[in-house]
Amino acid sequence: MSTAPATSHYSPEMRGPAVIGKSVMIKGQIFSREDLTIDGEIDGSVELQEHRLTVGPHGKLQAGVKAREIVVLGTIHGNVEASDKIDIRKDAKLVGDIKTARIVIEDGAYFKGSIDIARPEISKPAAVPAPKPAVAAPASPAANAAAASAPSSALSGELKR
């Protein structure tokens, strides 16, 4: 019997982007330092400093959202800020004010709110963003489970399945 456990070891490089699945509901704040896909329900806020947030087709966010790039296939109720680009796909629903450098809206998307295009400041040198400390650890075992699936993300608040 072989004792080599090589294939069963967890390797961060092997996994895909962090995902909050469609049966997960979180009330509170989410901070992430990697790309994140949300297909569940969030009530609170979501912040991904220099990364991409994808709201999947089942995703429902009642939240303020900040990220480098935001792709919406589901629903967001809340103000949205993207330093680079927002992509609102067909059948997505976004109600809230948008601030972004670029925006793509597919036909069939529903949007209600204002759009403010932030013009890049040319003369300023590129600032290196200071790393943001992770927020408090999740309070419940279920939250711990979700956090374990997204090691570079931090969330605080209540999580339900």
Does residue 135 interact with another protein by CB under 8 A? no
Does residue 90 interact with another protein by CB under 8 A? no
Q: Please, what's the b/e burial string for 114-126 (b: 16 or more CB within 10 A of its CB; e: otherwise)?
A: eeeeeeeeeeeee
Task: Give the pair of three-digit tokens for residue 25.
Answer: 């509901």
- 148 phi and psi angles, rounded to 5 deg: -65, -30
Question: Min. distance of Cβ 86 from another protein in angstroms?
Answer: 11
Closer residue to another protein, CB minimum distance, 49 or 83: 83
Does residue 161 interact with another protein by CB under 8 A? no
Does residue 105 interact with another protein by CB under 8 A? yes
Does residue 137 interact with another protein by CB under 8 A? no
Closer residue to another protein, CB minimum distance, 103 or 139: 103
**Contacting residue, 111, 138, 143, 157, with another protein by CB under 8 A:** 111
CA atoms of 101 and 84, how far apart (whole Å): 5
Q: Are strands 36-38 and 18-20 parallel, antiparallel or unpaired?
A: parallel
Query: Which residues sit at the interface with another protein, rule CB under 8 A?
Result: 88, 103-117
